[in-house]
Structure 1
Amino acid sequence: MARQSISFTEPNDKWLNEQVDNQEYSSKSEVVNDLIRQARNQQIEIDWIKAKLEKAEKSGFTNDSKEQILAQAKSLNE
């Protein structure tokens, strides 16, 4: 595992410490890694939405229902 040295603002450091103190996480590193994982997953969803929008703009209209579109979006999280 790569080691990094990073600095936090006081409010962010306080929040990180609270997460560890509340036993949500065992260390600040664990909190930061979880936040990065969440951001990466969020970026995957954003990229998927962008791709769907670009495809829709180029193709015109879709025959998919809003329920089908929602189901497709939710399947990304599985």
Structure 2
Amino acid sequence: MATMNISLPDPMRDFVQDRIENGQYASISDYVRDLIRRDQNTIAHEERWLRDLDASIDESLQEMKNGGGHDLDEVFETLVTDIQKANGNANR
């Protein structure tokens, strides 16, 4: 196992030491390893999310090429008309 030395400001060192003394971590190394694991998991989650987003965009673009989807201007006009009708009915 490799060794790394880090420097921390006193308040950060005290925070880590409190976590160890409260039994949340066995050592400073245990604390740092946990932080690294969490960071690795966050990065992996973000990468999965981006892959899923890319796939969704690709799927939507393909659907539009095949004639699917809706014209945004038409959808907006329909929504505005529906809202105006609803407001007109509410005022009666």
Would you call these one fold, judging by a TM-score over 0.5? yes
Gaps of 5+ in 1: 62-78
| In structure 2, distance between residues paired with 1:54 and 1:9 | 41
Q: 1:31 is matched by which residue type in structure 2? A: Y
Give the secondary structure class of the aligned counterpart of 1:3: coil
Identity %: 26
Residues 14-25 of structure 1 mapped to structure 2, 5 A cutoff: 14-25=14-25
Gaps of 5+ in 2: 62-92
| In structure 1, distance between residues paired with 2:47 and 2:20 | 32
| In structure 1, distance between residues paired with 2:15 and 2:22 | 10
Q: Tell me the TM-score normalised to structure 2 length.
A: 0.61
Q: 1:46 is matched by which residue type in structure 2? A: E
Q: Tell me the TM-score normalised to structure 1 length.
A: 0.71
RMSD of the TM alignment (CA)? Answer: 1.4
* The structure with more helix, counted as a fraction of residues: 2
Structure number with higher relative contact order (C-alpha < 8 Å, ≥ 6 residues apart): 1
Q: 2:32 is matched by which residue type in structure 1? A: V
From the CA coordinates, give the structure whose radius of gyration is larger.
Answer: 2
| In structure 1, distance between residues paired with 2:21 and 2:59 | 52
Q: 1:41 is matched by which residue type in structure 2? A: N
